[in-house]
């Protein structure tokens, strides 16, 4: 049997509203033509309470899908909910659909309408020509709860079937930011295929020597470097154990990094404009993220490198975002001089405390940590990041 894996549709995503709808529609229509069943690992909608017109978008897409002549059927369901169709379109709720306990979410509504089968905390068995696929899903829950929740389930695969485990969580092996994120080797053993949503870029790994797949979102949302690849979905063949990625017509996205070091604002603007012209050539309104990196030379300020007026001229031809990851040499030099010597016979401590008092008074500073304590923390560290982290830690600890 062939399984289509389509994830993170984010219907109703405001920034790229039309893209979200048309790209989800194309992905699911293609999936229904190429596969015997479809699995959706969460975030079908971008909002936990979609507007009626957005909910209608989802209902229209899944109504058309469910009306097709599917040879594969859901023959068994083990869960607390009731299902109203045997069409092999299986979905779990994601973090964007999560609502308070007892409140129906959008995926549950589609289940109640008989347009798909909600397998959040449930088993569904799909059969075609004697072959049976057992699929267990866990809808997106808080990261700190997921590990214990999984242990409590003590999941075991079904005998004499191809078993699929579907979830919607962050994974530490892919995003090593928080120890609450699940590790791949903590996922239940014995399944033949592992599917995750939530992460918007494509991932192909193995878990317990079996395939672990994340198709990524069908619409661009976060404008990150790892989202430049084409959008689409996976088709997995349970007989050959092979899979392939099917691309859809998604808007082109490019990240352009421009180093400002040693350059004037005009030079940077010209370089950015040249890149924009290159990308929009022959493209239908691509998405471009321009990132300014490096250090601003003395005589210039970060504000001198604003590209708004230049970018405005390309409205209607491209969607352009500007972000900065640049340092100001002149400001850094002034800070360094404050750390290493007195200014006009005033000690660094006195000078710094005076600045803090003046600035914080203007901002209505009311926390218990004194400016003197904060300055001591900041001036004791060579690393800006360490100093800021210590200062913030002190503020929140004492306030």
- Contact in structure between 268 and 258 (CB atoms under 8 Å): yes
Which backbone phi and psi does 120 adopt, to 5 degrees? -65, 115
* Res. 324: pLDDT tops 90: no
- Check whether 385 has a pLDDT greater than 60: yes
Q: Which of 56, 58, 45, 195 is nearest to 105 (CA)?
A: 45
The pLDDT score that the predictor gives to residue 311 is 87
Give the Cβ contact number of residue 256 at 10 Å.
17
Any idea where the domains of the chain sit in the sequence?
2-247, 253-327, 341-398
Please compute the mean of the pLDDT values over residues 292-320 and round it to a whole number: 87
Q: What is the mean pLDDT of residues 92-113?
A: 85
Query: If we measure between CA atoms, which residue out of 192, 203, 9, 190 comes closest to residue 110?
Result: 9
Which is nearest to 93 in space by CA: 146, 42, 46, 58?
42
DSSP code for 303: G
* DSSP code at position 297: P
Neighbours of 216 (CB within 10 A): 24
Q: What is the 3-state secondary structure (H, E, C) of 83-143?
A: CCCCCCEEECCCCCCCCCCCCCCHHHHHHHCCCCEECECEEEEEEECCEEEEEEECCCCCH
Q: How confident is the model at residue 281 (pLDDT cuts 50, 70, 90)?
A: confident
Span 332-377, pLDDT tens digits: 555 555 555 444 444 454 555 556 566 666 666 555 555 556 565 5
* Of 53 and 397, more confident: 53
- Bigger pLDDT: 399 vs 14: 14
> What are the phi and psi torsion angles at 291 (to 5°)?
-110, 120
State how far the Cα of 232 lies from the Cα of 5, in Å rounded to an integer.
Answer: 9
- Among 22-26, 53-57, 141-145, 343-347, the minimum mean pLDDT is found in 343-347
CA dihedral 172, 38, 230, 325 (to 10 degrees): -30
Integer Cα distance of 45 and 197 in angstroms? 13
- For residues 129 and 125, what is the distance between their CA atoms, to the nearest angstrom? 13
Distance from C-alpha of 91 to C-alpha of 139, rounded to nearest angstrom? 9
CATH superfamily assigned to domain 2-247: Metallo-dependent phosphatases (3.60.21.10)
For the chain, what is the mean pLDDT? 86
Read off the pLDDT of residues 112-124 as tens digits, 9 standing for 90 and up.
999 999 999 999 9
Give the pLDDT score at 382: 55
Do the bridges between strand 37-40 and strand 2-5 make them parallel or antiparallel, or are there none, so unpaired? parallel
The tens digit of pLDDT for each residue in 270-280 reads: 999 999 999 99
Tell me what percent of the residues of the chain surpass a pLDDT of 70. 80
Edge to edge, the sheet with strand 253-259 lists 253-259, 287-296, 319-328
The closest alpha carbon to 164, from 232, 234, 217, belongs to: 234
Mean pLDDT confidence for 384-399: 59
Cα–Cα distance measured from residue 6 to residue 90, given in angstroms and rounded to the nearest whole number: 10
Q: What is the pLDDT of residue 188?
A: 96
pTM beyond 0.75: the answer is yes
296 pLDDT tier (thresholds 50, 70, 90): confident
pLDDT value, residue 306: 86
Q: What are 157's strand-pairing partners? A: none
pLDDT at 214 over 50: yes
Dihedral of the alpha carbons of 107, 111, 117, 123, in degrees to the nearest 10: 80
Binning pLDDT at 50, 70 and 90, where does residue 298 land? confident
pLDDT given at position 142: 87
Please give the biggest Cα pair distance in the chain: 89
| Res 90 pLDDT > 90 | yes
Tell me: pLDDT of 223 over 90: no
Judged by average pLDDT, the poorest of 145-154, 179-188, 374-383 is 374-383
Specify the pLDDT at position 347.
47
DSSP 179: T
């Amino acid at each position: 049997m062939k399984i289509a894996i389509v994830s993170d549709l984010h219907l109703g995503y405001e920034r790229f509203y039309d893209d979200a709808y048309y790209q989800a529609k194309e992905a699911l229509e293609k999936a229904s033509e190429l596969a015997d069943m479809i699995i959706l690992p969460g975030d079908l909608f971008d909002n936990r309470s979609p507007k009626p017109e957005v909910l209608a978008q989802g209902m229209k897409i899944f109504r058309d899908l469910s009306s097709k002549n599917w040879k594969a059927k859901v023959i068994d369901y083990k869960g607390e909910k009731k299902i109203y169709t045997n069409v092999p379109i299986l979905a779990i709720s994601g973090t964007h659909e999560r609502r308070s306990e007892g409140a129906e979410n959008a995926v549950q509504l589609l289940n109640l309408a008989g347009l798909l089968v909600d397998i959040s905390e449930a088993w569904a068995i799909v059969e075609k020509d004697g072959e049976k696929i057992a699929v267990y899903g866990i809808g997106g829950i808080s990261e700190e709860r997921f590990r214990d929740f999984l242990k409590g389930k003590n999941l075991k695969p079904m005998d004499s079937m191809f078993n699929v485990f579907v979830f919607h969580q962050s994974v530490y092996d892919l995003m090593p930011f928080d120890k609450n994120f699940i590790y791949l080797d903590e996922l239940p053993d014995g399944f033949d295929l592992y599917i995750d949503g939530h992460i918007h870029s494509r991932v192909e790994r193995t878990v317990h020597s079996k395939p672990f797949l994340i198709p990524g979102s069908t619409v661009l949302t976060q404008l990150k470097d790892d989202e430049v690849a084409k959008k689409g979905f996976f088709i997995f063949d349970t007989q050959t154990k092979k899979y392939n990625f099917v691309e859809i017509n998604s808007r082109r996205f490019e990240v352009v990094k421009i180093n400002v070091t040693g350059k004037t604002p005009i030079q940077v603007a010209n370089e950015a404009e040249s890149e924009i012209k290159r990308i929009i050539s022959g493209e239908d309104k691509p998405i471009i993220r321009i990132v300014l990196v490096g250090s601003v030379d003395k005589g210039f300020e970060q504000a001198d490198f604003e590209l708004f007026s230049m970018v405005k001229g390309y409205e209607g031809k491209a969607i352009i975002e500007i972000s900065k990851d640049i340092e100001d040499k002149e400001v850094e030099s002034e800070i360094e001089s404050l750390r290493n010597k007195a200014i006009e016979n005033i000690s660094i401590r006195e000078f710094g405390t005076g600045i803090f008092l003046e600035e914080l008074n203007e901002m209505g500073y009311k926390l218990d940590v004194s400016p003197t304590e904060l300055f001591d923390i900041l001036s004791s560290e060579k690393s800006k990041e360490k100093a800021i982290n210590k200062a913030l830690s002190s503020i929140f600890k004492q306030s």
